[in-house]
Amino acid sequence: MNNDSSAGAVAESLRRELNRFSPGEKLPSSRALVDRFGVSPVTVSRALAALAAEGLVVTRPGAGAYRAAEDIPSPRVVDTSWQQVALTAEDPDAAPRVVDASGVLSCLAAPAPGVIAFNGGYLHPGLQPEQALGAALARAARRPGAWERPPIEGLTALRNWFGREAGVGPVQVLVTAGGQAALTTALRALAAPGSAVLVESPTYPGALAAARAAGLRPVPVPVDADGVRPDLLADAFGASGARVFFCQPLFQNPTGAVLADERRRQVLDIARAAGAFVVEDDFARRLGHGGSLPAPLITDDPHGTVVHVASLTKPTSPSLRIGALIARGPVMERLRAIQVVDSFFVPRPLQEATLELVGAPAWPRHLRAVAAGLRERRDAMVGALRDRLPHLAPETAPGGGYHLWLRLPDGTDESALTAAALRAGVAVAAGRPYFPAEAPAPYLRVTFADTGGPEEITEGVRRLADALTGLAV
């Protein structure tokens, strides 16, 4: 059980017991709570902080925690029915803006205690560089001017670091608050509301949600084992009039495909002929399982066709919301302007901490540990699938990323299966949210990154097999 879920369990237990205490009465000491629940002092502190945030307890440094003197009044019930009209009444000629975050939330939701997370989108805490992050944050806090306003585009040293891999200078780099923020900014900058945006099919649900929230129409372009199909990409540009194509050339989410060498130039040539941008989401750059990786697509682009999205969140921690947009030409000014309007800039302490992290000797060691940890977990999941569910096991294992894309038998009810799996104690992601239009077949996406290791993965696959068996009965 992770610290957050442990703290939640302690807080829930104390919440049920508060009526035993009079208003203003002192609760048991932190040491007593540590002994009682068998958790760390940090977990107890987080539980009490959660109750304090709800107004149920008051903490006094050096004195302890007390039940709040007054009960929280019941919230007033108000009639908000009018909002249903206000949120949907639009100009009939305007593009509808649908904000559907369900596909993203399914990967962000923390499973209940005891449930094995095959649906996560981030590294397990055991793979995150928690000590290195803490040390980097502490060093950053001591940097001169750490709390001063940063340059709008980001710290020059950090922009240089991001730009080096893409072969550009800092002028072509804009620091963002993570990859999702970069993607949202790019789509708003490059496509007008109501227009089409081409996306791989299947694709990352967060891209679909961002596009629809901006009033764009996602148009699918099928993907095979070698990435997006260039022939269908050219057809889609011609039929839709789109001026943007969103893709993930490296370890694509969810298929794990890597864009084949011979297709890289074709994709760029097709987009350039259409007068369109290619938004390259390079989220998995530091999630390889060992071996060499192809260079970012932007390195093959001398014409400013590619707008590159980089992120450090996936290989570190969900809370290190640092990414970058990299582009050549006047489009950078558009990207910069939209970010300024939305959020001004990325907080300087976070940028300083990122510089401390990637400049430390611990950084390359961490990346090697991530590669080894993901490779071990990938092999365990593939092996367990071949043992328990051989008809679902992939023929080849991906060389990077953190998930497998499983083709289910025709006629399988994805929703029923995911619900049955959850009842069996394993959380998986249904394939339907990854398709911008009708899905050609039922799928599951299962992740191995947010697990404790091979033993947990083997048990999770066993539970998934039980769920499938129960569904067939």
Predicted confidence pLDDT, tens digits, the chain (473 residues): 455 667 888 999 898 888 888 888 888 888 889 898 888 888 888 888 888 888 888 888 777 888 887 655 556 677 777 777 677 766 666 666 677 777 777 777 777 888 999 998 899 999 999 999 999 999 999 988 889 999 999 999 999 999 998 889 899 999 999 999 999 999 999 999 999 999 999 999 999 999 999 999 999 999 999 999 999 999 999 999 999 999 999 999 999 999 999 999 999 999 999 999 999 999 999 999 998 999 999 999 999 999 999 999 999 999 999 999 999 999 999 999 999 999 899 999 999 999 999 999 999 999 999 999 999 999 999 999 999 999 999 988 999 999 999 999 999 999 999 999 999 999 999 999 999 999 999 999 999 999 999 999 999 999 999 999 888 65
User: Same CATH fold, 130-358 and 102-127+364-472?
Assistant: no
The CATH number assigned to the domain with range 130-358 reads 3.40.640.10
What pLDDT was estimated at residue 74? 59
Cα separation, 262 vs 434, whole angstroms: 26
Integer Cα distance of 339 and 168 in angstroms: 20
Distances (CA, A) of 469 to 20, 329, 388, 420: 47, 56, 11, 10
Phi/psi of residue 245, nearest 5 degrees: -130, 120
Taking Cα atoms as reference points, which of 463, 471, 466 lies closest to residue 114? 463
102-127+364-472 maps to CATH 3.90.1150.10: yes
Among residues 99, 93, 117, 107, which one has the least CA distance to residue 422?
117
Pair 249, 258: CB distance under 8 Å: yes
Rounded Cα distance, 166 and 282, in Å: 11
E strand segments, 107-259: 116-117, 173-176, 196-201, 217-224, 227-228, 244-247
pLDDT of residue 1: 44
466-470's contacts with Cβ under 8 Å and 24+ in sequence apart are 466/424, 467/417, 467/420, 467/421, 467/423, 467/424, 467/426, 468/389, 468/417, 468/420, 470/420, 470/424
Spans of all domains in the chain: 3-67, 102-127+364-472, 130-358
Q: How many degrees, rounded to 5, is the angle at CA 442 between CA 257 and CA 419? A: 115
pTM score over 0.85: no
**In the CATH scheme, what architecture does the domain 3-67 have?**
Orthogonal Bundle (1.10)
Pairing of strands 64-67, 57-60: antiparallel
